[in-house]
């Protein structure tokens, strides 16, 4: 399990033109090979009249898993360059499909590599990419004087405070990076004089998008 990784929150589409050939890229979030293949097939059916529908995907299923397809373009000129862009951006659980409508002018090996790479870059530019960080949802129960100490601590340590409930006591929910859980628990104990009760609820991933926190199970 990765401690942090970049992935697609919302797929996008990009298009470039090289010597009258159109290269249309579609990007999607895909968590399994089945999802990746289904997305590729969907684009193939949508652009059934195109000369080529080349593809590449990068998955993380307990380990790194990649695959690419040139779809009858010269070997190594389409799928591999597309895959290299995804790997270079270090984005996981993503599939890219580039559709080519041939414009009648041959691009040559180097031209094809550049065109397919550029098309994927354009597709990624129009996608929403997030970075997920693995951590623990930590529930803190403290008295009202302890709330100020808790708020000061999490602000100083840049730990997201996701929620606060006010009852007879105060219950705050933090998201603590997996690598810092022991350290932060110790700090909370010291800051509140051992009065705060802490409960590790579960491990999740957190990402920030448009200044909002998003939680994910994977």
Q: What is the pLDDT of residues 153-194, one digit of tens each?
A: 989 999 999 999 998 899 999 999 999 999 999 999 998 888
Q: How far apart are CA 104 and CA 120, in angstroms?
A: 22
Nearest CA to 164 out of 145, 181, 140 is that of: 140
Nearest 5°: CA angle at 216, between 61 and 185?
A: 105
Residue 32, CB-side half-sphere exposure with 13 Å CA sphere: 3
- The answer to whether 137 touches 204, Cβ cutoff 8 Å, is yes
- Listed by start position, the domains of the chain span 4-126, 133-216
Q: How far apart are CA 90 and CA 93, in angstroms?
A: 10
pLDDT over threshold 80, residue 62 = no
* Phi and psi angles of residue 126, each rounded to the nearest 5 degrees, phi first: -95, 10
Give residue 63's pLDDT. Answer: 85
Q: Give the mean model confidence (pLDDT) for residues 119-138.
A: 97
Higher model confidence: residue 80 or residue 149? 80
pLDDT band at 195 (very low <50, low <70, confident <90, very high): confident
Nearest 5°: CA angle at 116, between 52 and 41?
A: 40
Select 133-216's CATH number: 3.40.50.1970, 2.60.120.260, 3.40.640.10, 3.30.70.240. Answer: 3.30.70.240
Q: Can you name the CATH fold of 4-126?
A: Ribosomal Protein S5; domain 2 (3.30.230)
169-180 residues labelled b (16+ CB within 10 A) or e (exposed): bbbbbbbbbeee
Q: Which residues pair with 29 in a beta bridge?
A: 94
List CB contacts of 18: < 8 A, sequence separation 6 or more. Answer: 103, 107, 111, 114, 115, 118
Number of separate helices (H) and strands (E) present in the chain: 5, 11
User: pLDDT (tens digit, 9 = 90+) per residue, 69-105?
Assistant: 999 999 999 999 999 999 999 999 999 999 999 998 8
Q: What percent of the chain has pLDDT over 70?
A: 100
pLDDT over threshold 90, residue 15 = yes
């Amino acid at each position: 399990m990765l401690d942090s990784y970049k992935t697609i929150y919302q797929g996008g589409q990009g298009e470039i033109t090289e010597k009258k050939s159109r290269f249309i890229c579609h990007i999607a979030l895909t968590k399994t090979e089945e999802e990746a293949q289904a997305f590729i097939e969907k684009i193939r059916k949508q652009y059934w009249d195109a000369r080529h529908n080349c593809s590449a995907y990068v998955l993380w299923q307990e380990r790194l898993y990649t695959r690419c397809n040139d779809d009858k373009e010269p070997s190594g000129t389409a799928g591999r360059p597309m895959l290299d862009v995804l790997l270079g951006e270090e984005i996981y659980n993503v599939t890219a499909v580039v559709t080519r409508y041939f414009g009648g002018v041959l691009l040559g090996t180097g031209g094809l590599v550049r065109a397919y790479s550029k098309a994927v870059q354009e597709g990624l530019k129009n996608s929403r990419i997030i970075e997920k960080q693995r951590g623990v949802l930590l529930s803190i129960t403290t008295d009202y004087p302890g709330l100020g100490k808790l708020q000061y601590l999490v602000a100083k340590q840049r730990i997201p405070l996701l929620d606060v409930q006010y009852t007879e006591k105060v219950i705050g929910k933090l998201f603590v990076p997996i690598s810092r859980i022991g350290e932060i628990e110790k700090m909370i104990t010291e800051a509140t004089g051992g009065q705060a009760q802490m409960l590790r609820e579960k491990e999740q991933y957190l990402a920030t998008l448009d200044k909002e926190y998003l939680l994910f199970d994977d």
